[in-house]
Amino acid sequence: MSRYAGVDSGSWNTKAVIIDDDGIVLGTSVVRSGADLTAAAERSYDEALANAACEREDVTAVWATGFGRTAVPFADGSRTELDCHGRGAAFYVKGPLVVVDIGGQDAKVIRLDAQGQRLSHRMNRKCAAGTGSFLDEIALRLGIETAALDVLASQATEELELSSFCTVFAGTELLTLIRAGRRPSDLAMAAYRSLMKRVIAMDVFEGHVVATGGVVAYHPTMVALLSEAMHAEVTVPPHPQEMGAFGAALAARDGAVSVGPASAERAPIPLAERASDDA
């Protein structure tokens, strides 16, 4: 039996998955990314290997994905998270499908055809609205852990609206509603509804919808709202938070083409380039 690995170096968490030839998940791991992405990748990979009861030398190939994909020095190749979330979702659900990935720092909508080939992708603009960070901000305002938001929202009875487009303004609006005596559970649900509206505005949802990412893994309310808005079932595949890492492991298994340069060859973004270089 061959084993393949994927490491998803995300902005908030680093995830690793070990699979076999058939794509069966043998082990997973989620660790905080912190400031040292390489150290987090090493730690996550080792944890996933331990959970899969195997060693590094047992792994035929390991691929990286995520925003820190070039900071994984032991990776044999890399693919963007746009590819890996689509690839992972298409393993479980046949296309055409739309993959909605809601992570800590960004949200993605990825459209795949019947063969699982990507047709298009959309990412949120440079803004926290529509991402997991929005829920963190709202939880902070309500004085609870983000993980508790879902349970709180499940007790909602009144439909409230957060009308602001901006995370900071939404936070202010929330404080106004708290002062007006609104129930925290209704406010929590309003936050999810606001997030859902941002996501469904990103693209047209044609075909089976699959939701991945940390937000749907820990916030079933979000999935229910997406399903309600689309008048269709939204599938959450196994290991939604590790879906990017799973897709990277599939890319390793399938020998996908790595379009980018290896991490060591990648030119840094030349922030300090001189004016004369361009003029």
Partner 1 sequence: MTTSRRELTSTAPLRETMGAYYRSLGDAVERKSAPVAWCTSVGPAELLRALGFAVHFPENHAAMLGASRTANRYLPVAHAQGYSQDICSYLTSDVGAYLAGESPLTAFGLQGVPRADVLVFNTNQCRDVRDWFEWYGRTWNVPVIGINSPRSVGDVTDAEVEDVTAQLEALVPVLEGVAGRRLDNARLAEAIAAARDASSLWEQCLQTAAHRPAPFTFFDGTIHMGPAVVLRGAPEAAAYYRTLLAELEERTRTGVSAVPGEALRLYWDGMPVWGRLRALSTTFSEFRTAVVASTYCNSWIFSTLDPADPWRSMARSSVELFIARSDGPKERYIERMVKLYDVDGIVYHDCRTCPNNTNSRYGMPRRITERLGIPSLVLDGDVNDLRCFSDEQARTNIEGFVEQLADARALASRAAPA
Closer by beta carbon to partner 1, 67 or else 192: 67
Site for partner 1 in 130-189 (CB under 8 A): none
Q: Give the tokens for residue 4.
A: 């393949």
| Binding status of residue 15 toward partner 1 by CB under 8 A | no
Residue 124 CB, shortest distance to partner 1, in Å, is 9
Residue 72's closest CA among 81, 84, 62, 64?
64
Neighbouring-strand partners of residue 234: 209
| Binding status of residue 76 toward partner 1 by CB under 8 A | no
Residues with Cβ within 8 Å of 196's Cβ and at least 6 positions away in sequence, in order, are 222, 225, 226, 229
Upstream peptide bond of 237 is cis (omega within 30 degrees of 0): no
From the list 1, 35, 264, 279, which residue makes contact with partner 1 (rule: CB under 8 A)?
A: 279
Ramachandran assignment for 255, one of left (phi > 0), alpha (psi -120 to 50 degrees), beta (any other): left
Closer by beta carbon to partner 1, 106 or else 150: 106
Site for partner 1 in 205-264 (CB under 8 A): 256-257, 259-261
Q: Alpha-carbon distance 28 to 244, whole Å?
A: 12
Give ∠ CA 102-202-104 in degrees, rounded to 5.
20
Residue 256 CB, shortest distance to partner 1, in Å, is 8
Pure H helices in the chain: 37-51, 81-92, 132-142, 149-153, 167-179, 184-200, 214-218, 220-230, 243-254, 275-278
Number of residues that bind partner 1 (CB under 8 A): 32
Question: Cα–Cα distances in Å, from 20 out to 50, 54, 87, 225?
Answer: 15, 11, 16, 34
| Binding status of residue 273 toward partner 1 by CB under 8 A | yes
Tell how far CA 171 is from the center of its chain.
23
| Binding status of residue 275 toward partner 1 by CB under 8 A | yes
The stretch among 12-20, 26-34, 119-127, 223-231 that binds partner 1 (CB under 8 A) is: 119-127
From the list 2, 56, 125, 238, which residue makes contact with partner 1 (rule: CB under 8 A)?
A: 125
Residue 110 CB, shortest distance to partner 1, in Å, is 9
The stretch among 42-50, 74-82, 152-160, 171-179 that binds partner 1 (CB under 8 A) is: 74-82
| Binding status of residue 114 toward partner 1 by CB under 8 A | no
From the list 17, 30, 40, 82, which residue makes contact with partner 1 (rule: CB under 8 A)?
A: 82
Residue 135 CB, shortest distance to partner 1, in Å, is 20
Q: Alpha-carbon distance 217 to 241, whole Å?
A: 6
Tell how far CA 34 is from the center of its chain.
17
| Binding status of residue 67 toward partner 1 by CB under 8 A | yes
The stretch among 45-53, 189-197, 224-232, 271-279 that binds partner 1 (CB under 8 A) is: 271-279
Specify the amino acid at residue 129: A
**Binding footprint of partner 1 on the chain (CB under 8 A):** 67, 79-83, 106, 115, 117-123, 125-126, 256-257, 259-261, 265-267, 269-270, 273, 275, 277-279
